[in-house]
Amino acid sequence: MSRQRRLIVDALFLGVVGALSAQIFMFLLHLAQKIFLIGLAGYHPPGLPEEGGVLQQAIGPHGLWLIPVATTLGGLLSGLLVYTFAPEAEGHGTDTAVKAFHRTAGFIRNRVAPLKAVASAITIGSGGAAGREGPTALISAGVGSTYATLTHRSDEDRRLLVLIGMAAGLSAIFRSPIGTAFFAIEVLYGNMEFEAGALLYTLLASVVAYTVNGLFVGWQPLFSVPANLAVPGFADYFAYAGLGLVAGIVAAAVPMIFYGLRDAFHAIPLPPHVKPALGGLGVGLLALAWPQVLGGGYGWIQEAMDGHLALKLLFALVFLKMIAFALTVSSGGSGGVFAPTLFVGAMLGGGLALVFHQPSAPFVIVGMAALFGGAARVPIATLLMVTEMTGGYHFFVPAALAVTVSYFIQVLLSSRLKYRSLYEAQVPGRPDSAAHHRYYLETALRILREDKDLALKTKEHLDLRRLLAAGVPVDLPDGRQIVLGKLRSGSEFEGKTIGEVLSELAAEDSEIVAVFRDGHTLLPHEDLVLEAGDSILAIVPAEGRARLEGHLTPLGSEQDSQLSEAVAKGDQSGG
């Protein structure tokens, strides 16, 4: 069977599995909510009618006083589960899936998916201010990774299967087959790039998952939009542009608040197992005055869409929800950031609708898309997802305007900030991903060998591969040299970052092009810590080479050199 046909079969299979995984997770989530938030705390948040809920909160005989108990207990149980058995399942799962694609060849441990399902159900079901998309993304991506292992697939296929599984699970949970297919390939990069080669497969899996999921819950959008809304006129677009501007400013603040609190929790001298309980306590205390911050808040989004929330409450919830979901997830709790960020955008849109004297529903819809599209650097996918989730297709154009404005404002404002996106594992573009780094390295080496302008001082039949493996530096026309070697055990560079090593070389124009470790090509960013045995490919001037070579040993044999294989491929493809 050809690779393409096999991937089509994979997409069909993972589409079905993704839908079933989403249903299992939703069952666990409803069960946890009945036990913790409803059973223990006596509080029932408003739910979406399309999911069988009622748009009305119910408060038990003890008022709201037991909510902190439920949120703290849920955080404690989740923390104990995650940090005891699978620490990589903490936080918002989409980032873990993105990290797996870029850094671990798509490998996710088998235990992660079931643990993430249980821990996230407890976190959200007890009132934690987190969303269900992150857990679903990691659960279904984990299924894709396990499936790749069982079918003995290559690393390249494993990465694709992770994206296919992620798209399928998200499609089922959000009833958004087109948007989630794009989300899976757009969320990987922060600079408007896509993993385009995966799109047909993620789209097929998403459609299958949406169809199968519809057999359980129907095919209506999650949110209900009033049918009598007028199409926006020319003057209205200025208001939507204003919404995009404000959303972009808030979108730049969201990652800073989220990861700022994460860093603060890391600094607390307590075991990580109990920190989610602290976050849960903080959310519970907030909920004593503002219960709207609990959970994903989809019911409250519908209330805002229907125009049932007051102006002061809408603007207060913009800030309060940012704090609440940061407390939940940044403390190590298990849950997603999509739903809470949509909530913030919905409240912002609802508040600005009242300020601009506009109907609430369109501004809530556009606010959701504009805020998350900017904060997560996924404008295209978010535009499609929010449109499908609400059925608000006749507001697609104003939403596109607001999302575009928000994205550019967010990128501009966050360019000098420490945290620029909600998804920390994103890389700027394909050349920055370790998943593609070897391909770009092979291409660069082939060009180096073939390009007449870069002709080396020896003849064309020069075996660049053997020279590098033997430790012989190769001259470049600009006076620098290519150096390859293995980091000596006991070297002063061992345990230091690439940034520190380049600083100690004290030679301008020095750069480390690639680091090979345990069969993987690592992205050589400044914070990467070098280990003994790392194969290092560097381009350095003469003075830098003299300092660097004292810390390297030649690779020697071809089987000892991953780079040798890479260069060999470049030789063969260059003919």
521, pLDDT greater than 80: no
pLDDT, tens digit, for every residue of 130-139? 999 888 999 9
Tell me whether residue 346 is in a domain. Answer: yes
For residue 569, pLDDT over 50 is answered with no
Query: 3-state DSSP call for residue 421?
Result: coil
Token pair 């950031």 in the structure block, residue: 337
* Between residues 545 and 356, the one the model is more confident about: 356
235 falls within a domain:
yes
- As to burial, measured by CB atoms within 10 angstroms (0-12 exposed, 13-18 middle, 19+ buried), residue 193 is middle
Is the pLDDT at 270 greater than 70? The verdict is: yes
Q: In the predicted model, is pLDDT for residue 370 greater than 90?
A: yes
Which of residues 510 and 168 earns the better pLDDT score? 168
> Partners of 326 in the beta sheet?
none
**Confidence check: pLDDT of 454 > 50:** no
Based on the fold, state whether residues 334 and 466 are members of the same structural domain: no
Supply the pLDDT for residue 539.
81
Q: What is the CATH number of the domain that holds 151?
A: 1.10.3080.10
Q: Check residue 523 and give its pLDDT.
A: 63
**pLDDT value, residue 461:** 40
If you write DSSP's letter for every residue of 108-165 in order, what string do you get?
--TTHHHHHHHHHHHHHHTT-S-BSHHHHHHHHHHHHHHHHHHTT--HHHHHHHHHHH
Q: What is the reported pLDDT for 512? A: 82
Q: Total structural domains in the chain? A: 2
Torsional sign, CA 102, 107, 113, 114:
negative
Predicted pLDDT at 472: 62
Which pLDDT score, from 0 to 100, does residue 195 have? 93
Phi, psi of 147 (to 5 degrees): -60, -40
Helix (H, G, I), strand (E, B) or coil at 480: coil
Same domain, residue pair 410 and 461 = no
pLDDT value of position 459: 39
| pLDDT of the residue at 552 | 85
pLDDT at 568: 46
Instruction: Tell me the C-alpha to C-alpha distance, in Å, between residue 76 and each of 73, 141, 431.
Output: 5, 26, 40
pLDDT above 90 (res 202) = yes
Structural domain includes residue 449: no
Q: What is the pLDDT of residues 169-201, one digit of tens each?
A: 999 999 999 999 999 999 999 988 999 999 999
Q: Report the pLDDT value the prediction gives residue 228, as an integer from 0 to 100.
A: 81
Domain end: 387, 414, 441, which one?
Answer: 414
pLDDT tier at 214, thresholds 50, 70, 90? very high
Q: Is residue 181 part of a domain?
A: yes
Residues 399 and 517 in one domain: no
Q: Which domain holds residue 272?
A: 3-219+227-414
pLDDT greater than 90 at residue 87 = no
Claim to verify: residue 331 and residue 461 sit in the same structural domain: no
Q: Which residue has the higher pLDDT, 140 or 548?
A: 140
Pairwise pLDDT comparison (409 vs 226), residue with the higher score = 409
CA distances from 107 to 149, 156, 158 (A): 9, 11, 7
Instruction: Answer yes or no: is pLDDT of 561 > 60.
Output: no
In a domain, residue 318? The reply is: yes
Mean pLDDT confidence for 467-477? 62
Residues 533, 399, single domain; the answer is: no
The number of residues making up the chain comes to: 575
pLDDT number for residue 446: 60
Is residue 118 one of the residues assigned to a domain? yes
What percentage of residues in the chain have a pLDDT greater than 90? 60
378 and 510 share one domain: no
- Indicate the average pLDDT of the chain: 87
Convert the pLDDT of each residue in 15-56 to its tens digit.
Answer: 999 999 999 999 999 999 999 999 999 999 999 998 888 999
State how beta strands 481-487 and 511-517 pair: unpaired
* Distance between CA atoms of residues 125 and 29, nearest Å: 6
Identify the three-state secondary structure at position 486. Answer: strand
Of 87-101, 423-437, 440-454, 543-557, the one with minimum mean pLDDT is 440-454
pLDDT at 252: 97
- Give the per-residue pLDDT at 278: 97
Last residue of a domain, one of 358, 381, 414: 414
Taking Cα atoms as reference points, which of 221, 247, 223, 222 lies closest to residue 353? 247
The reply to whether 290 and 208 lie within a common domain is yes
CATH number, domain of 534, equals 3.30.70.1450
Containing H/E element for 529?
Answer: none
The mean pLDDT value for 498-526 works out to 75
Place of tokens 């909160």: 57
Residues 207 and 70 reside in one and the same domain: yes
Query: 508 vs 60, 139, 368, 538, 542, CA distance in Å?
Result: 68, 46, 47, 13, 11
Reading the block at residue 331, the tokens are 């403390």
SS3 53: coil
Residue at 311 is within a domain: yes
Last residue of some domain: 354, 383, 414?
414
pLDDT score for 529: 85
Residues 340 and 405 in one domain: yes
pLDDT(91) > 80: no
Provide mean pLDDT across the span 473-500: 80
Mean local confidence (pLDDT), 450-476: 53
pLDDT in the model for residue 553: 83
526 and 406 in one domain? no
Is 426 within the bounds of a domain?
A: no
Residue 486: what pLDDT?
A: 86
What digits encode the pLDDT tens for the residues 300-358? 999 999 999 999 999 999 999 999 999 999 999 999 999 999 999 999 999 999 999 99
Confidence class for position 289, pLDDT limits 50, 70, 90: very high
Contacts of 562 (CB under 8 A, 6+ apart): 516, 519, 521, 535
For residues 69 and 137, membership in a common domain is answered with: yes
At residue 547 the predicted structure's pLDDT band, cuts being 50, 70 and 90, is confident
Q: What is the per-residue pLDDT for 230?
A: 82
124 pairs with which residues across the strands? none
404 and 477 inside one domain = no
Q: What is the pLDDT of residue 496?
A: 87
